[in-house]
Structure 1
Amino acid sequence: MSALALVGLTILSVALLLSGLLFGAVCLSVLYSNRRHMLADQFAPLILLMFSVLMVVVGCHGLRGVSTALVGS
């Protein structure tokens, strides 16, 4: 794998990881808030929270792939 591909995969993985964490924090704050708005239903934030967990897992998996490629094993 070329160095440019590794840099690109690293940037995408970190962006996906951080956006998943931010998205999860927003979903948790909506889930535990007492205000009623369009996402105040219980099922919508839970589904979005599962999607954010999936984003974090994919980001971690991408970073693991980059570290494996850098080590060369």
Structure 2
Amino acid sequence: MDTLKILQASEQANWDYDDEADVLYLSVGEPRSAVGIDIGDGVVLRYDEETQAVVGLTVMGYEPSLLRRLS
């Protein structure tokens, strides 16, 4: 796989939290279809396969992870 373009352009970040599933969805710009890569610790990196640009992250088990880091 070629190198992903992470900081190519500064776009507004969007987020949504599903408290029932404890999942945080982060998107660069408007959420869109993407390919996901599990990068460990409940984090999935989402990227546009055509442009190789990172378009978001999905963080599963967000609340326990956040609380561990804050304590």
Higher relative contact order (CA 8 A, sep 6+): 1
Which structure has the highest strand share of the two? 2
Determine which structure has more spread, i.e. the larger CA radius of gyration: 1
Could you say whether these structures have the same fold, taking a TM-score greater than 0.5 normalized by the shorter chain as the test? Answer: no
TM-score using structure 2 length: 0.25
* Superposition TM-score, scaled by structure 1 size: 0.25
